[in-house]
Structure 1
Amino acid sequence: MRAKTWLGVVLLSGSTLAYADYNAGLAEFRQRNFASAVHEWREAAEQGEGQSQFALGKMFENGTGVKESLDKAYKWYRLAADNDVLEAQVRMAELFLSESIDGRGPADAVEWLERAAQSGHAGAKFQLGLMYLEGFGIEEDAVAAARWFEQAADQGHLQAQNNIGSLYENGRGVEQDFSRAFDYFNKAARQGDAMAQNNLGALYARGRGVEANHAWAVFWFATASRNGNDVANANIQPSLSKLQDKTVISPRVNIRSGAGTDNARITQLTQGTVVYVLGEGEGWSQIYFEKDGEPVLGWVATRLIE
């Protein structure tokens, strides 16, 4: 499978630089005076200032303030990359990965990714991990993939946290360790990564790396499903069958985003609706139910269900 996850590059940085012309160009850019920004950056770029070279490359690539030209963009990216501008090294790799430059391909991206990764770029480490894992542009090496994923994960890269979690779960490139898999899935899941949320739910359902808990499994499956993970939706039912179901006993009850009336109302349920209890405390129950075919998590006063 080809590596499809691109690194993503911030267009311009507001960091303090040695060349005042870069900051002058940035000020013009922010005022949407694009031709003036190009003038300022070109002067600094021609003096060898890396950030201005990268900025000028972006302007040529996007056709902003100048006639669009990928060839000229590539020229300035290359100069900036040679000047150790991480964003430029990453952009060079992206162009090679997408085969946008004639005669260059994924194998040519490796050099620039490794340079950026060695300098600490988490996205470059993640992309290298993908390439090593899939043998894309480089010889397949699960051990190297795991090393790069783990480094990126420890820098907070969500997809890398999910991927190294999967490698620990399956014992690929590392010794199998469900506890470490749980830790990495948990980190990414709590920051909103839908794939990690599904994977965390699976560990709870199977009791791997953590004590089996079908309430938590349903919670994470439902959360992943609502975040767009289709696999998670199919995983809900087996764990749901292990939970206690109750019925709404009042004509109409408010379902809230948290325990207590101070929390926002997310919907209402009518008498007879079946819900599944995930947890209870201080007169409130966290519940799971489906509405319009979609999984929903919410809170309801415990006295209103039985």
Structure 2
Amino acid sequence: MGRKWILAGVVWAMAMPAMADYAAGLEEFQRGNYASSLYEWRQEAEKGDAKSQFSMGLLYEQGLGTRKSLEDARKWYRLAADNGHMEAQTRLGELYLTGQLEGGDAKAVEWFDKAAGQGDALAQFQLGMLYLEGRGVTADSEKAAGWLEQAAEKGVIQAQNNIGSLYENGQGVEQNATKAFELYEKAARQGDIYAQNNLGAMYAKGNGVERNSAWAVFWFTMAANGGNEVAVDNIPEVLDRLAIKQVAGSRVNIRRGAGTDYDVVAVLRRDDNVHVLGEMEGWSQVYFELNDFPELGWVSSSLLK
């Protein structure tokens, strides 16, 4: 997981005299006048302003308003980080973690630890994963769980899934299937395909929640649609628990939602099989396969037999 620091795209401009402060640099940056923002921020950065130092690092890393230079970016990030700038500390950690700076995982741990201690959610997530995997630090599942839980509480989706896994397996925390289910569901509803698969498995097994094959198929299919190949393999294990019906009309529209106002996602033909997940106001939510790939949709219940 990474933070999207700044938008791509460069608009060059000559540096213009202006009041040299962070706000002036930010205003120029927002206008796309990166060379001018570099000028403004440099004045404050050289006076020790951490926000300006961090912003200088971003400009040099991306090559906005100046040449692209990771070494200059590192210099400014380090100055900002030493001045306690949380995001600069996290960015240094990412650069070490990805091998863009020499020093390896141990240096990544050092900087993530500083930022995590200040409450940076991304640093907490990364530090938790490093402790979990024993990279740059002795593996410690309890410390991993502690950092991942903090990141999860701040809304880091991957952290929600990963701490959910620790709760499910009792790794670094007391085993709690109900807590695992809640965390998986939170991440799954935000689109995490790994959490969606995990949530499907919880429903399939009745672990942490009452067993529900329809919800299992739903979440496995959502994960599969997002590219989770494990979820594709999980679907057949629960699919035969659902009722099978056949299409009654010669050409029947399968829609994205329960109603004719929703887009058509597929057209099925007479006697095609569908698996029914549930019904609502005369519409059935169905599982079907399109070009051998799992899909979900809605069809009028009157058009099934």
**Which TM-score tier does this pair reach, normalised by the shorter chain?**
over 0.9
Indicate yes or no: 2:60 matched with 1:65.
no
Indicate yes or no: 2:38 matched with 1:43.
no
Q: Name 1:304's counterpart in structure 2.
A: 303
What is the CA deviation profile of residues 250-285 of structure 1, one whole-angstrom value per residue up to 9, with x for unaligned ones? 011111111122222222211111000000122111
Q: Name 1:126's counterpart in structure 2.
A: 125
Indicate yes or no: 2:91 matched with 1:91.
yes
AA matched with 1:26: L
Q: Secondary structure at the match of 2:21?
A: helix
What is the CA deviation profile of residues 106-135 of structure 1, one whole-angstrom value per residue up to 9, with x for unaligned ones? 111222211211211111111011100010
TM-score (norm. length: structure 2): 0.93
Question: CA contact under 8 A between 1:7 and 1:127: conserved in structure 2?
Answer: no
The residue correspondences of 1:154-173 to structure 2 (distance < 5 A) are 154-173=153-172
Question: CA contact under 8 A between 1:9 and 1:87: conserved in structure 2?
Answer: no
Indicate yes or no: 2:267 matched with 1:295.
no
Question: CA contact under 8 A between 2:249 and 2:303: conserved in structure 1?
Answer: yes
Q: Secondary structure at the match of 1:54?
A: helix
AA matched with 1:192: G
Paired with 1:23 and 1:108, the residues of 2 have a C-alpha distance of 32
Q: Name 1:3's counterpart in structure 2.
A: none
What is the CA deviation profile of residues 138-197 of structure 1, one whole-angstrom value per residue up to 9, with x for unaligned ones? 000001111111111111111001001111111111111111110100100011110000
AA matched with 1:197: Q
Change (3 A) 1:20 1:292: farther
Paired with 2:202 and 2:187, the residues of 1 have a C-alpha distance of 14
Question: CA contact under 8 A between 2:20 and 2:40: conserved in structure 1?
Answer: no
Task: Supply the RMSD in Å over aligned alpha carbons.
Answer: 1.5
What is the CA deviation profile of residues 75-111 of structure 1, one whole-angstrom value per residue up to 9, with x for unaligned ones? 1001111222221111111122123334x22111222
Q: Which 4+ stretches in 1 moved above 4 angstroms?
A: none
The residue correspondences of 1:116-195 to structure 2 (distance < 5 A) are 116-195=115-194
Percent of aligned pairs with the same amino acid: 55
Q: Secondary structure at the match of 1:288?
A: strand
TM-score (norm. length: structure 1): 0.92
Paired with 2:182 and 2:31, the residues of 1 have a C-alpha distance of 45
What is the CA deviation profile of residues 30-78 of structure 1, one whole-angstrom value per residue up to 9, with x for unaligned ones? 3332221111110011111111111111111222222222221111001
Paired with 1:239 and 1:250, the residues of 2 have a C-alpha distance of 27
Paired with 1:20 and 1:37, the residues of 2 have a C-alpha distance of 10
Query: Please, which runs of 5 or more residues in structure 2 have no aligned partner?
Result: 8-18
Q: Name 2:81's counterpart in structure 1.
A: 81
Q: Secondary structure at the match of 1:249?
A: coil
Paired with 1:281 and 1:267, the residues of 2 have a C-alpha distance of 20
Q: Secondary structure at the match of 1:191?
A: coil
Q: Secondary structure at the match of 2:259?
A: coil
Paired with 2:281 and 2:35, the residues of 1 have a C-alpha distance of 63
The residue correspondences of 1:224-235 to structure 2 (distance < 5 A) are 224-235=223-234
- How many aligned positions are there? 294
Question: How far 1:9 moved relative to its partner?
Answer: 4.4
